[in-house]
Amino acid sequence: MIMKSAIPLSASAVLALFLSLPLAPASAAPPAPPTAAVLTPGQVAFMQAETRRIEEAFIQKVMSITGASHDQVVRAIPAKGRLTDRLARIYNSLERDLKAPLTDEQQALIFAAEGERKQALKDLPAQAAGR
C-alpha cells in the first residue's frame, strides 16, 4: 500500500522551504593561473636563440657519448609533442642506427645530458626576464 503525503505543499511553501535552506558559502574565485611575465621582443628573441643553443649542446653531447653523426642524433630525437618517452626513443633509434646496443654508461651519460637540457630550458624564462 502506497501512502501519499498528507500535507500538500503550495508553491509559497516550497519557496519558503527552499529559502530556509542554508546557503553554501560563497566560494572565492578559482585561483588565477600563474601569469607569465610579458617579455619584450628582445627577450623573446633571446629565449629562442638560447633554446636552439641548449638543444644543439644536447645533440653535441650525445654525439660525443655515442659516436653517432649529427643527423643520426637529430633523427633519434622525437618531434615535440610526440607521446613517447624521449630517452627510450633516443636509445632505440641510436642503437638501430649504430647497429650496437648502448652501454649502461652511455645511457647514464645521455640521461644526465637530458637532465641538464631540461634544467637549462626550465631556467630560461627567468634569465630572459632579467635581460
Q: What is the pLDDT of residues 65-113, one digit of tens each?
A: 999 999 999 999 999 888 889 999 999 999 999 999 999 999 999 999 9
Q: Give the other-Cβ count within 10 Å of 50's Cβ.
A: 16
Q: What is the mean pLDDT of residues 46-56?
A: 96
Q: Is residue 129 very low, low, confident or very high in pLDDT (cuts 50, 70, 90)? A: confident
Q: In angstroms, what CA-CA distances link 70 with 21, 51, 52, 75, 129?
A: 70, 18, 15, 9, 32
Reported pTM = 0.69
Q: Is the pLDDT of residue 36 over 80?
A: no
Report the pLDDT value the prediction gives residue 124, as an integer from 0 to 100: 94
